[in-house]
Structure formats: C-alpha cells, structure tokens
Amino acid sequence: MDRTQVNSIIRSKYEERLDKAINYYASKMVFAQIIFASAFSASELYYGVEYQDQCPIEPMMTTFLILHGAIKFVWVFLTILAIVDARLIAQVMNKNVLARRLMFINLTLQPVFAAWFFIWFITGNFWVFRTKDRYQSTNPTDTSTYCNEEVYQAAFLLIIMTYVIGGITFIGTIRRRVISKKIKHVMKNKTNPEHQSRVQI
C-alpha cells in the first residue's frame, strides 16, 4: 500500500467522523441539551451575581457559579454554531466540504472548554461539599460560618442536577450507540448472502 492510498484511507475516516458529528448536531436531541444547559447556566449566573459576597465561609462559591455558568454558555454558543453548520451549511446549502471544516474547528474548541468546565466543576464540588456541615444562614455577622441559604442550596442542587443530567445523557448515548451497532449488524447480515448461507448450514 503506497502513501497515496494510506492518505486516502486516513482522509476517508476523517471525513466519516466529521459526517457523524454533523449528523449528531442535526439531531433533535441536541436541542434538548441546549435547553437544559441554558437553564442551568442562567441559574448559576443569577445566583452567582445576585448573591456575590454573601457566603463568606466560602467566598469562592459564588465565583464558581459565575464562571461555571459562563463556561456553560460558551458551550451552548459552540453547540448552536455546530447546529447551524449541520442543518444549514451541510443539509440546506449542501456544502459538505465547508461544513466539515467548520465542524472540525468547532470540535477542536469544544474539548478545551469541556476540560475547563470539568476542572472548575470538580473544584466547585470541593468548595460546596466541604461547607455543607459547617455553614449557618441565620447570623450574617458571623462571617466565619455564614453563607446565604439560597446561594448554598442553589450551588448544591445545581451540582446534584448536573450529575443526574450527565448520567442520563451518558446512558442515553451508550444506549443509542449500542442500538445503532445492532441495527447495522442486522442490515449487514441481510445484505450478505454468504453470511446467511453459513448461518443456515
């Protein structure tokens, strides 16, 4: 196999993966993810800004909410761009080469923000959970233990809901891929008479 053939195979696999990404972002499931992410992000930004400096026992808690919400909004923006790329440029305008290039750029940027999102989320877990049994919300003058109840509960619930939604999304993705592989396997068997004859024997 010469270098040209190798490059052709690599390019084919590269285009196949980008086409899968385009199909994914053209699906309706992505819209649901955007809705959930936007709602979470708006809530985080609201509580982080509205209750800033109202949790002196852990001052970084509101900072966590603000930055985590902002990063999530960036992800929403990138996802919207990917949807436009998949639905408009690829499907409507039928400019597949351009769509693949734009999708490649998008998929290159997303892991950067995903990594920052994950790191900040884990750090936020540390700040929130270590404060759980140490804070009180009745005496604001005791800054060594005070944290506004609303901001703490908001941070706590948003973290728990992120775990729940993330778990559901992960399970749904795995299930969808397993079903997709089974369908492909069945279709392959139907279109492969040699395989069918071996099975019958």
pLDDT, tens digit, for every residue of 146-177?
A: 999 999 999 999 999 989 988 887 887 788 77
The torsion of the CA quartet 155, 116, 58, 152, rounded to 10 degrees, works out to 0
Helices (H), the chain: 3-25, 29-50, 60-84, 96-131, 149-190, 193-200
Number of domains in the chain: 1
Would 135 be classed as within a structural domain?
yes
Would 139 be classed as within a structural domain?
yes
Would 92 be classed as within a structural domain?
yes
What would the mean pLDDT of 121-134 be, rounded to a whole number?
93
pLDDT, position 193: 53
pTM, entire model: 0.77
**Residue 39 structural domain:** 3-158
Would 144 be classed as within a structural domain?
yes
Would 195 be classed as within a structural domain?
no
Asked if 134 and 57 touch (Cβ cutoff 8 Å), the reply is yes
What would the mean pLDDT of 124-132 be, rounded to a whole number?
93
